[in-house]
Amino acid sequence: MFPSVRVFTGSCAAGGGVLSITHYVNLAIRPRSRALGERALERRDKSAAFRPLALSSATVGAFGGMARSADQSLARPRSYACFASSSTTTNATTTTTTTTTTNRNASASTDHEKNPNPNWEKHQQNNKHLDDVSLALSYRSYGHAHAALDPLQRARGHLRSSRRAPPKIDAKPRPPLGWTDNMTNVNADNLHHAYTGSLALDARAVNDAKAEQWLFQQMERRTCPDRRAKAWPPDARRALLQDLQRAEALEHSLSRHFKTSKRFGIEGSDALMPALYHILKRAAAHGAVSVDLGMAHRGRLNVLVNVLGKKYAQLCAEMEGKQSKVHVGDVKYHLPATGVVTFTAVPNPGDAAPTLLHSSTKRLVVRLAPNPSHLEHVTPLVLGACRARQQVDAPEGAPIDAAAKRRRWAVVVHGDAAFAGQGISAESGMLSRLDGYTIGGAVHIVVDNGIGFTTTPDALYSSSHCASAYAAAAACPVIFANGDDPEACVDGARLCAAFRARFNRDAVLVLRCYRRLGHNESDDPSVTQPMLYNECIAGHSTLPTSYGALLAAEGIMDAETVEINRKALDASLDASRNAQSAFELDDRSWFLERGWQLRALMSSLQPGRAAQERRPPEPTGLPLSTLRFVRGTLCQRVMYRPSPNTFEAHPDVLKFYRENVGGLCTSDTERVDWATAEALAFGTLLLHRSAGPIERVRRHLSMERGNSPADSGDDDDPLMGLNYGAYRVRLSGQDSARGTFGQRHTIVRDVNSASGGCVVPLNEIMPGYQERFEAVDSPLSEAAVLGFEYGYSLVGANAGNHESFAKSLVLWEAQFGDFANVAQSIIDTYVMSAEEKWNLASNLVLLLPHGFDGQGPDHSSARVERFLQMVNDDADHLPGASERDVALIRRSFAALDPDNNGWINADELAAVLGEHLHKDESDDEASNHHGESDPDRAALLHKLHDHFSTKGEDGGLTGNGGELTTFSNMASESGGRIGMAQWMRLMTKYLRLESEAQANVHVCIPTTPAQYFHLLRRQMNRSFDKPLVVFAPKFLLHHRLARSDLSDFTTGTHFFRVIDDGAPGDNTRHLGLHPVTQEQYNLPPTSIRRVVLCSGQIYYALNRVRRQKKSRDVVLVRLEQVAPFPHDLLTDVVERYPNAEVVWCQEEPKNMGCWSYVQPRYAAACIARGWEHRQKIRYVGRATQASTATASLAIHLEEMKRIVEQALAPDR
């Protein structure tokens, strides 16, 4: 920021309540005018009449503000501003002007007599120009603090303007001071009306001369009568009244019919509706095709109906709780929605007048994001979703361009208390102008009703207004509007939208309004604010009433027509309510339209449908030629830059790439480290399947190096085994580009470049035949950044009917896993529960470094137990056998057997499902399925799709699953009827096969690079989307033994949820044979005395000590996927060792880690197999404690020694 200069003129009357000074300004002088301004101040200091005044905290400023000190701007008063009456102000102005003029003339005459100067007149002219500049800047900087913004006219103490301004500033040309474009011929009354009326501006945080000047011009032009008339012709004002009446009618209808239901109405802040509508309209005018919208509960129901077009009857069904008796994920004012808003005539951005229309029709897709009660946490989610859509619109493989930012907008509606009080708001504002997070600006609307539940502004924030913290973080303007002046609110909305479109920056619109009712409709606000509600609000007219009366008084509409329109809206809503039964789902409809029972049945009724609706899973292993090519190309892009090129990487980075490429270009027996495995996963996900033969690309790379192609395999091998579709990859987090532990180096920087030149090798594998990779070093924020990335991940996974978006692999990496708890509310309300609450899928990956290395309680644990506690499986039953599953299976059978016959007619059910198929296809605008209008019923009854009978390692439970009995076979076995036992068997088996898809999250602790490689590729190549929490290693990143054979990445390999000693996937199996005799290290399975189950890095400590002690009768079994729990796979491994004791070993304390999750599920798996005698599992690990780990390395090593010895100790 530029230095602050205080400009004063006049003198101070001692002991008086009013200062007789001309004006005060806290002015940021630009460098080009700073010197001139300082010289002017020096000349003024020579005269006693022009000495600067040191204002105390109790001194009332000349412009009408209160100064906390001489170095601070106007303090935030404790209530809303209210100027004194016009007569009082005029008298004060006249008196002050006279006094000031007399003092100035007397002083000037005296100085001129004592110091004759031929340039005195020029000196006086410069001083007067400085007066005029500082007066205008006073209004521009602090007018908002004294504007008539409060609809209830609550006073902020006894504030008065001691001197409004001279009647008119002299229009003669003046010397330039940096503000010459409109500093002349400015009427002081126009300044007063422009900045202290019902629309005000605070642009102090903008810090951009062009943007500030544009904002000032827009504000000052509003005072032109001709422009005002063009902006609000009679038709526009009548339409505005109709919008207000429509919003009021909805609230009144809900209040009449649902007296006890919470709806968080919009009464008192009705102007939000037209303001939001006009922002959307302006976005469409500027070329937007979609808007991501976020808002809290206040007014949300009104937006759903009157903006997004939700049926009022559907809302009534939700208000009565009749939308479903089976499952309701969240309250009605949290639910997401998508609507298409059509504008038949939109503003032309090129027109000078703001409401000139052109006739083209614009369609705008508006997506309202789900909102939890954790206020403001939706803000980064909306920004991330908008960023993802912009990336899709950008040229392939290129960064986001200006055209993409024009097409995709974000709008967020806030409450004043949350916007000021929640730190995630400021964090989101901080992201707004960072390259990795910017979306070209978002428009924020703050509904400032002057109260937070029961808390007044005195206790809500210490800053000058509720948006000051966000404005400072985002460097954006704040525009204020009086909520009882709907035209000013719409003007402010237009100004915000225009600013966003012109400058690609955030803009905040604060609607100063009030809350007519309590926080919710059953709350009595007069208990805590009796004067406010009993005197001010009780007698205050509603906005539609007052604005209708205004239009009637001006002859635009007669009062009778206003009343007729109001009654017509009420009658229309009442009529719509009668159709709510169409949105009430009985059990039968719910199961056949929304439940997993539908998917189970559909899989047996139409071949290939599952493959069309849910992409088939793809293998994660790749041919050696592909792996060698990708990694070799990455290294060449760093080590051999095209000539001429002065790029020079850091020696350590060159060594990192050289060693990795050397390991992959010589032999398939070489070992691959963690960072290489990650780069291979990223690189192969980026590449298109149509990338073509390696030979052409290899020759191109060799020509860049100036030599012959390197021998790295069969030259004619194509890039086999790639994905059916390519995927963008986005990695975000603190220090994520390099990696917290120096393990990644996805961005290679030039050591000789002062400007920070860099290379991203993953973006240069095959330009033009690959997607874009982003590695974003985030600011020191967890909550906002994780919320942003979660929103980004939603776009590809939840593409609706209106648009389709390519998927992205989105990863958020915590610097240390311990810091994830700073974003716990995002994890709880979105990552873990959004699918169940709002039916929103996400494939977000959380990389949380976890491991006890003696670094203390804040650098050891990512709190595995917290994530496992939120997994939605039953601890005591296998999938399909829990009480909830059994109840739903029985209830679905009863719903499909309405006559209570005890059986379901298979033929009739097939007909119903066939009709459902056809209905879905005809309703789905984006569907590629084209079923017959009258499908052959016999053709529908066939065997299940192969997808459900070949789950194997990458699917659900295999041991108890098998191939499902086909629907047609079940019907034929019982004469066309399906009984309860058959139905139970079918649905139970389906749930076991689909246990992976039914889980809300997957929690994995990979211990080998190959496992990590397959895990990342599996995340994109599965037939469903689930969040993935990876507890990543720390010291294993550079551990010599924590490497995998290249053969573990090749075709036919995959991710292993459980790794047994010496089995495929075991990266230490090469140590299991004697190097000379080839004898197995472990004893035969029947001679094994102990099976030690473990997860994470403790395996390597156990394995090292086991080999040192030559404990050949102990096997180590790694649980790589903890949730969903692999019941059958784990018991299959344990079954191999019939005489062994089972021990669970972990490095975390007993009340943390995986123990409390694994123990009951292992017991349930044993019971399901009839192993009651083997269900007991012994715990080995740290004792319970409050803190996660010790900060003493010596104590840590002693604890680890004890844990390992106990796990391997001989039987007592």
Return the HEC string of 855-868.
CCCCCCCCCHHHHH
Same domain, 597 and 567: no
Instruction: Name the helix (H) or strand (E) containing 1032.
Output: strand 1028-1032
Same domain, 356 and 494: yes
| Residue that is last in its domain, among 156, 175, 196 | 196
Same domain, 933 and 862: no
Whether 1027 is covered by a domain: the verdict is no
CA distance 845 to 831: 10
Give the CATH number, domain containing residue 644: 3.40.50.12470
CA distance 734 to 1195: 30
Same domain, 359 and 290: yes
Contact criterion met (CB below 8 Å) for 310 and 428: no
Contact criterion met (CB below 8 Å) for 404 and 438: no
280: which 2 tokens? 């959307």
Q: What is each CA distance from 597 to 488, 497, 872, 892, 1118, in whole angstroms?
A: 53, 46, 18, 8, 34
Note the pLDDT of residue 115: 57
Whether 1060 is covered by a domain: the verdict is yes
CA distance 710 to 74: 70
Intra-chain end-to-end CA distance of the chain, in Å: 73
DSSP assignment of 61-80: PTTS-BBSSTTS-B---SS-
3-state secondary structure (DSSP) of residue 190: helix
Whether 249 is covered by a domain: the verdict is yes
For residue 292, the cross-strand partners are: 367, 410
- Domain of 42, in residue numbers: 4-196
Best CA proximity match to 1020, nearest among 789, 723, 800: 723
Same domain, 1093 and 946: no
Under the banding of pLDDT at 50, 70 and 90, the label for residue 661 is: low
Same domain, 988 and 1129: no
Under the banding of pLDDT at 50, 70 and 90, the label for residue 1165 is: very high
Note the pLDDT of residue 589: 64
Same domain, 852 and 916: no
Q: What single letter denotes the amino acid at residue 32?
A: R
Q: What is each CA distance from 781 to 167, 380, 860, 1028, in whole angstroms?
A: 51, 12, 19, 21
Strands 1178-1182, 808-813: pairing kind: unpaired
| Residue that is last in its domain, among 196, 218, 251 | 196
934: which 2 tokens? 């009258």
Q: What is each CA distance from 756 to 647, 649, 744, 748, 778, in whole angstroms?
A: 11, 12, 18, 10, 17
3-state secondary structure (DSSP) of residue 851: coil
591-600, 799-808, 914-923: segment of lowest average pLDDT: 914-923
Give the CATH number, domain containing residue 1187: 3.40.50.11610
Same domain, 1062 and 1189: yes
Residue with tokens 């079994």: 1117
Residue 60 has pLDDT above 50, yes or no: no
Whether 1033 is covered by a domain: the verdict is no
Most distant pair of Cα atoms in the chain: their distance: 121
Same domain, 19 and 168: yes
Whether 218 is covered by a domain: the verdict is no
Highest mean pLDDT among 67-76, 655-664, 820-829, 965-974: 820-829
Under the banding of pLDDT at 50, 70 and 90, the label for residue 1115 is: very high
Under the banding of pLDDT at 50, 70 and 90, the label for residue 177 is: very low
Whether 212 is covered by a domain: the verdict is no
Note the pLDDT of residue 968: 55
Note the pLDDT of residue 994: 83
Whether 1043 is covered by a domain: the verdict is no
Best CA proximity match to 1099, nearest among 1065, 1068, 1136: 1068
Residue 802 has pLDDT above 60, yes or no: no
3-state secondary structure (DSSP) of residue 7: strand
Highest mean pLDDT among 86-100, 318-332, 502-516, 793-807: 502-516
- In the chain, the number of structural domains is 5
Under the banding of pLDDT at 50, 70 and 90, the label for residue 600 is: low
Same domain, 594 and 641: no
Q: What single letter denotes the amino acid at residue 1133?
A: V
| Residue that is last in its domain, among 869, 902, 925 | 869
Whether 1042 is covered by a domain: the verdict is no
Residue 69 has pLDDT above 50, yes or no: no
Note the pLDDT of residue 1179: 96
CA distance 1010 to 1044: 6
Higher pLDDT: 313 or 847? It is 847
Highest mean pLDDT among 22-36, 564-578, 609-623: 564-578
Residue 49 has pLDDT above 90, yes or no: no
- pTM here is 0.83
Same domain, 902 and 849: no
Note the pLDDT of residue 597: 64
CA distance 727 to 780: 28
Contact criterion met (CB below 8 Å) for 813 and 775: no
CA distance 998 to 345: 46
Higher pLDDT: 380 or 584? It is 380
pLDDT in tens, 387-419: 999 998 888 778 889 999 999 999 999 998 889
Residue 1076 has pLDDT above 90, yes or no: no
Strands 808-813, 845-849: pairing kind: parallel
Best CA proximity match to 288, nearest among 433, 442, 405: 405
Tell me which DSSP letter residue 1047 carries. G
3-state secondary structure (DSSP) of residue 748: strand
665: which 2 tokens? 């270009």
Residue 721 has pLDDT above 70, yes or no: no
Under the banding of pLDDT at 50, 70 and 90, the label for residue 709 is: very low
pLDDT in tens, 191-234: 888 898 999 999 999 989 999 999 999 998 887 777 777 888 99
Give the CATH number, domain containing residue 261: 3.40.50.970
Contact criterion met (CB below 8 Å) for 181 and 105: no
Under the banding of pLDDT at 50, 70 and 90, the label for residue 829 is: very high
| Mean pLDDT computed over every residue of the chain | 77
Same domain, 865 and 945: no
Note the pLDDT of residue 800: 52
Under the banding of pLDDT at 50, 70 and 90, the label for residue 1099 is: very high
3-state secondary structure (DSSP) of residue 1081: coil
Count how many Cα atoms sit within 13 Å of the Cα of residue 531 in the half-sphere of its side chain: 3
9-13, 623-627, 646-650: segment of lowest average pLDDT: 9-13
Phi, psi torsion values for 148, nearest 5 degrees: -85, 75
